[in-house]
Amino acid sequence: MAHDFSTLAELTAAHAAATPSKTAIIFEGSNQSYGALHDAVLRSVAALRADGVKAGDRVGWLGLNHPDYVVVMNACFRIGAVLVSINARLVAREIAYILGDAGIGLLISEAQFLSVAEEARAAAGVETIVLIDAAQAGRPAFADWIAGFAPDSAAHPADPEDIALQLYTSGTTGFPKGALLSHRALLGTIGKGALTGEAWSRWDEDDVCLVAMPLFHIGGTGWSLHALHAGATMVILPRPDIAGIVNAVASERITKMFAVPAVLAAILQHLESAPADLGSLTELLYGASPIPLDILRRSMAAFPNASFIQCYGATETSGTVVYLPPQDHDVAGNARMLGCGKPFPGNEIRIIDNDGRDLPAGTVGEVAIRSVSNMSGYHRNPEATAKAMTDGWYRTGDAGFIDTDGYLTLFDRVKDMIVSGAENIYPAEVENVLHEHPAVADCAVIGVPDTRWGEAVKAIVVRKGEVTPEELIAFARARIAGYKVPKSVDFIELLPRNASGKILKKELRAPFWPEGGRQVG
């Protein structure tokens, strides 16, 4: 049954009324119907309100993928609160910054992250911690907590422009920024596929959708909202475990999934020793980082009945704005498969120079996007918002070109961002940490090619004292998330800089990348 929702607050109520016994979520062998899901949402509404959460307040989530995330998210929608999903790979001081910046008073955390959550809570002054999976150290388990409340069906009169989610992106200045995503923007992303009129974009309640990508990223949360919007069944995995993904597709007869290229490459390796029947899959969407053509071609062969769709977007665009449709894929490979695709109907892309002027087809410049899905801005950061948004256009920081058919190809990143295993890493954040070491006089961080992750983080350091690469890596590992830590360290006498003192990272990257090739992994 098709629904026309004006806000995300209506989702679970509509499906609970229409198909209460339909399975909404499958997780670790247990099923939850839409009726039971909506009941949990309403009890969560009551519990959150009893803790003082009201419209506009921020609620934090720190955990792996779990059905309770869907419950909390929809409860926040109904209260008018904003869910802040925090990357579970961050360390305490990074989490503390987000808690403080967002103004979170209630944090819902998985038991395995309790120690880091407590450390971050103390630093940021968070009042309450509720545990997702099990009571511990005087903290209640989420299911037990909400079970003590009667369902609260009173809904905040939500407006499409109200903020629904606040997702943090890595910071170019060393601090992450909270992208504000409205009900309008998120529903706009969900509705884009249908505007194409193409068969791959159709969702219905018979679809079985795999949610394996992290829910603390827009790729995971946005994908779950697609399924929830359609009233489909979600199979949620705690993490993108490769054997778990393959087993889920085969045993649960998954019809739709989203995966990043690093996961697809790992699936191919897994299938070499453990073949599986993956024929149920009808649509496989992929993106978040560049994909080698060989991996794409082999993936198409491994999922023989699936239409492949490449996705390009950002947290700031609530997910996908550009797509490469199935008809532009060929198992033999073609030129279009090296690019990102074309904008969805109603979305626009431009290639601009440093002054914001349009560049002609085939000329490399910065990619700018205008979309119904664009963020409302960055939380409490008008300066960053002004730099990123101009007259409704989001400046992505990605460099690319558009061909005469309107297809986008990425070439480089004007903001020096590194994409490793689909995680966005800003060099400035890593450099700031390395500069804290007493033996570091100067440093630069770049991305270098990596066969598994697309790019790996490399630090190039000018020493002012004795230190080994291993010591610097260990120093960084204690201060930032593991995926941001340099995988290698080179020492240099002097970093190349231009007349204004800016480090010439293009020169530092040159020895590691093919001449004239794309510098995006």
Task: Say which CATH number the domain at 475 has.
Answer: 3.30.300.30
pLDDT band with cut points at 50, 70 and 90 for residue 2: low
Q: Is the pLDDT of residue 13 over 50?
A: yes
Residues 397, 438 within the same domain:
no
Residues 148, 126 within the same domain:
yes
User: Does some domain include residue 208?
Assistant: yes
Q: Is the pLDDT of residue 518 over 70?
A: no
pLDDT digits (tens, 9 = 90+) for 245-299: 999 999 999 999 999 988 998 999 999 999 999 999 999 999 987 788 888 999 9
- Write down the pLDDT at residue 444: 92
What value does the mean pLDDT of the chain take?
Answer: 93
**Integer Cα distance of 34 and 487 in angstroms:** 45
User: Does some domain include residue 332?
Assistant: no
Residues 125, 264 within the same domain:
yes
Angstrom distances, CA of residue 430 to CA of 124, 125, 422, 443, 473 = 22, 26, 17, 10, 11
* Cβ contact 303:329 at 8 Å: no
User: Does some domain include residue 517?
Assistant: no
- Write down the pLDDT at residue 514: 73
User: Does some domain include residue 334?
Assistant: no
195-215: average pLDDT = 96
Angstrom distances, CA of residue 399 to CA of 40, 225, 364, 416, 417 = 45, 29, 6, 10, 11
Burial of 455 (0-12, 13-18, 19+ CB in 10 A): buried
Going by C-alpha positions, the residue among 458, 455, 453 that lies closest to residue 443 is 458
Residues 406, 352 within the same domain:
yes
* Cβ contact 203:250 at 8 Å: no
Going by C-alpha positions, the residue among 105, 96, 106 that lies closest to residue 130 is 106
- Domain C-terminal end among 360, 378, 410: 410
- Write down the pLDDT at residue 279: 97
Tokens of 358: 């349009």
User: Does some domain include residue 32?
Assistant: yes
pLDDT digits (tens, 9 = 90+) for 106-161: 999 999 999 999 999 999 999 899 999 888 888 889 999 999 999 999 999 989 99
**Integer Cα distance of 96 and 303 in angstroms:** 42
User: Does some domain include residue 333?
Assistant: no
Q: How many domains does the chain have?
A: 3
pLDDT band with cut points at 50, 70 and 90 for residue 521: very low
- Write down the pLDDT at residue 425: 87
Residues 369, 475 within the same domain:
no
User: Does some domain include residue 3?
Assistant: no
- Write down the pLDDT at residue 316: 97
pLDDT digits (tens, 9 = 90+) for 380-433: 999 999 999 999 999 999 989 999 999 999 876 777 888 888 888 888 889 889
Residues 247, 385 within the same domain:
no
Residues 289, 140 within the same domain:
yes
Task: Say which CATH number the domain at 118 has.
Answer: 3.40.50.12780
- Domain C-terminal end among 410, 430, 446: 410
Provide the domain limits for residue 428: 418-512
Residues 309, 377 within the same domain:
no
Burial of 316 (0-12, 13-18, 19+ CB in 10 A): buried
Q: Is the pLDDT of residue 225 over 60?
A: yes
Residues 171, 72 within the same domain:
yes
- Write down the pLDDT at residue 500: 57
Residues 369, 278 within the same domain:
no
User: Does some domain include residue 52?
Assistant: yes
Task: Say which CATH number the domain at 397 has.
Answer: 2.30.38.10
Residues 444, 460 within the same domain:
yes
Residues 296, 436 within the same domain:
no
Kindly report the backbone phi and psi dihedral angles of residue 40, in degrees, each rounded to the nearest multiple of 5, phi listed first: -65, -40
